[in-house]
Amino acid sequence: MSHGFTAWPEEFASRYRERGYWTGEAFPALLDRVAAEHGAREAVVGTGLDGSPLRLTYTELRDRALRLASALHGLGIGAGERVVVQCGNHPEFAVVVFALFRIGAVPVFALPAHRHAEIGHFLAASGAVAYLHADEENAAAVAGRVPHVRDIASLAGLPPGGPLPEPPAASAVALFQLSGGSTGLPKLIPRTHDDYAYSVRASAEICGLSPETVYLCVLPAAHNFALSSPGILGVLHAGGTVVLAPDGSPDTAFPLIAAERVTMAALVPPLAQVWLRAAPASDADLSTLDLVQVGGARLAPPVAERITPGLGARLQQVFGMAEGLVCYTRDEDPRELVHTTQGRPICDADDEVRVVDDADRDVPPGTEGHLLTRGPYTIRGYWSPRYGDADAHNRAAFTADGFYRTGDLVRRTESGHLVVTGRAKDQINRGGEKIAAAEVEQVLLAHEAVADAAVVSIPDEHLGERSCAYVVAREAAPVKGSALRAHVRRAGLAAFKIPDKVVFVAALPRTAVGKVDKKALRDRHRKDS
């Protein structure tokens, strides 16, 4: 498992241990600790995979996780082996995750929206031994490609598999998150117990979580924001209650807030706007809601200003990434900063942030530049045993001294807060859902009628950005935009990656060095609309 994993240099690892960020407590020990402390309190609440209400106390969560751990161990799934997990927002999600943690197997967190092309890629790229799913269609499409394809709902029926192995070391890789991607297929992001647990504990503290916290999880549970910032794991660390909602619509979420006396929720900006529009007309009691986190995509300051008056809760902006760095606005920040910045990093002393120009030279505060970062919970390389540490992608995505090139353009205020001003990576942020332009372009180019294609972001009032495919058609084969959209769907990609708009052009604009000029395409869209 260490094969393909880029470790922190020893000098950094020992500093992170000395300073107490890496405590040596792996997630199985965390669950034991909270089960001992808060045993009878409710840990996870929601609709079970069978459609009926399911409420698990800390003791029940621990017991179910241990039972499933034994069963999975009995199937022959062992330490260090990868398991692609795709589960909606159900209490069983937490059971599966802690079961895998306990036997040292490493979940690869697919999102519910992912379809068979993506799942197939995750299975192959991670060398997974199992796919645990809640989606028959995907399962059928990848059947036979891995030893174990199992419906999560059926796991409870597995026989116990004997005594459990030793729990994993905290320095081991605990899980894989997926990159939003900019160069084709999503990359695997290895997160260790030590580094992930630090980000979870520190986030829980920054957000003031306690056993009284009732967290409504409306974003996909497996996404880094909902899982760890502080998310599900942060709330469980603090002894609070996680309420898993199947979706974030006011019709679903507001009654849950009232019934469960929810104190906190995490939203992407488009959802925050939907909640703001729905709140005045709703008769649900939202008065327990105390903290609303908004992140994943740019929150416009005028919307930010409306959160507290409109929802009766404090606002916290969250700017994070699955690769590591997470920034929060703080309670003590002046309102102006909470409304106009995306916060500052978790770790004052050791989240190192550089803002640089195109030649990697630091720019002065207040000037826009590329955000580079390294620190106690930011990876030093994407994972791939096939490429190893010298992988060309890693050489492009990290500096020689280990800073991650986030691809975000930011400006740093004198106070150390970051304002996200743009993006250098070739990605579309569709209301928090990330689309690598190259991944969709490759699928479009595979269509017989397509000679050339470029996917760019276009502004959207509701989602912030949507995707637009500029397509050069082969003359001999006339084709419609709708046919190309259907082609992307048939290729087995998540629905959010289907181009929102298709525009046919005679040729794509090129830069002096012959690359597609995406800025010219975005400018052109602005002029045409």
User: Cβ of residue 499: shortest distance to ligand OOB, in angstroms?
Assistant: 20
User: Toward ligand OOB, which CB reaches closer, 92 or 323?
Assistant: 323
* Structure-block tokens of residue 82: 């990868």
User: Toward ligand OOB, which CB reaches closer, 146 or 271?
Assistant: 271
* Structure-block tokens of residue 363: 């720019």
Cross-strand partners of 369:
410
Beta carbons within 8 Å of 386's beta carbon, 6+ residues apart: 4
User: Cβ of residue 168: shortest distance to ligand OOB, in angstroms?
Assistant: 23
User: Toward ligand OOB, which CB reaches closer, 70 or 89?
Assistant: 89
Q: Is 3 helix (H, G, I), strand (E, B) or coil?
A: coil
Let me know: does 253 contact 286? Beta carbons within 8 Å: no
| Cα 140 to Cα 97: distance, rounded to the nearest angstrom | 23
Let me know: does 110 contact 227? Beta carbons within 8 Å: no
User: Toward ligand OOB, which CB reaches closer, 187 or 447?
Assistant: 187
User: Cβ of residue 44: shortest distance to ligand OOB, in angstroms?
Assistant: 20
| Cα 503 to Cα 472: distance, rounded to the nearest angstrom | 9
Decide: is 320 part of the binding site for ligand OOB (CB under 6 A): yes
| Cα 34 to Cα 42: distance, rounded to the nearest angstrom | 11
Other C-beta atoms lying within 10 Å of the C-beta of residue 41: 15
* Structure-block tokens of residue 7: 């470790």
User: Cβ of residue 405: shortest distance to ligand OOB, in angstroms?
Assistant: 10
Decide: is 317 part of the binding site for ligand OOB (CB under 6 A): yes
Q: Contact region for ligand OOB (CB under 6 A) — 30-38, 75-83, 153-161, 313-321?
A: 313-321
Backbone φ and ψ for 89, nearest 5 degrees, come out as -85, 80
| Cα 68 to Cα 165: distance, rounded to the nearest angstrom | 13
Decide: is 180 part of the binding site for ligand OOB (CB under 6 A): yes
Decide: is 384 part of the binding site for ligand OOB (CB under 6 A): no
Helices (H), 75-191: 91-102, 116-126, 136-142
User: Cβ of residue 269: shortest distance to ligand OOB, in angstroms?
Assistant: 8
Let me know: does 294 contact 317? Beta carbons within 8 Å: yes
Sign, CA dihedral 398-403-408-411, equals: negative
User: Toward ligand OOB, which CB reaches closer, 139 or 321?
Assistant: 321
Q: Where are the beta strands (DSSP E) in 375-482?
A: 404-412, 418-423, 427-430, 433-436, 450-460, 464-473
User: Cβ of residue 225: shortest distance to ligand OOB, in angstroms?
Assistant: 4
Q: Contact region for ligand OOB (CB under 6 A) — 65-73, 78-86, 279-287, 290-298?
A: 290-298
Q: Contact region for ligand OOB (CB under 6 A) — 119-127, 168-176, 256-264, 314-322?
A: 314-322
Q: Where are the beta strands (DSSP E) in 168-310?
A: 173-178, 188-192, 214-217, 241-244, 264-267, 291-295
User: Toward ligand OOB, which CB reaches closer, 77 or 437?
Assistant: 437
Let me know: does 196 contact 190? Beta carbons within 8 Å: no
DSSP tally for the chain: helices H, then strands E: 17, 24
**What is the total count of residues that contact ligand OOB (CB under 6 A)?**
22
User: Cβ of residue 428: shortest distance to ligand OOB, in angstroms?
Assistant: 10
Write the binding mask 125 to 164 for ligand OOB: x where contact by CB under 6 A, - elsewhere.
Answer: ----------------------------------------
User: Toward ligand OOB, which CB reaches closer, 167 or 343?
Assistant: 343
User: Cβ of residue 424: shortest distance to ligand OOB, in angstroms?
Assistant: 10
User: Cβ of residue 235: shortest distance to ligand OOB, in angstroms?
Assistant: 15
Decide: is 408 part of the binding site for ligand OOB (CB under 6 A): yes
Which residue has tokens 């082609």?
487
Beta strands across the sheet bearing 352-356: 352-356, 369-374, 404-412, 418-423
Residue nearest to ligand OOB (CB): 320
Instruction: Give the residue, chosen from 4, 28, 295, 310, that forms a contact with ligand OOB under the rule CB under 6 A.
Output: 295
Instruction: Give the residue, chosen from 225, 377, 403, 496, that forms a contact with ligand OOB under the rule CB under 6 A.
Output: 225
Decide: is 434 part of the binding site for ligand OOB (CB under 6 A): yes
User: Cβ of residue 15: shortest distance to ligand OOB, in angstroms?
Assistant: 24
User: Cβ of residue 423: shortest distance to ligand OOB, in angstroms?
Assistant: 6
**Interface of this chain with ligand OOB, residues 324 to 383, rule: CB under 6 A:** 326, 342
Q: Are strands 344-345 and 418-423 parallel, antiparallel or unpaired?
A: unpaired
Backbone φ and ψ for 458, nearest 5 degrees, come out as -125, 145
Let me know: does 157 contact 169? Beta carbons within 8 Å: no
User: Toward ligand OOB, which CB reaches closer, 229 or 394?
Assistant: 229
Q: Contact region for ligand OOB (CB under 6 A) — 10-18, 79-87, 93-101, 311-319?
A: 311-319
Instruction: Give the residue, chosen from 229, 273, 329, 384, that forms a contact with ligand OOB under the rule CB under 6 A.
Output: 229
Kindly list the residues in this chain that would bind ligand OOB in the complex (CB under 6 A).
180, 224-225, 229, 295-298, 317-322, 326, 342, 406, 408, 420, 423, 429, 434
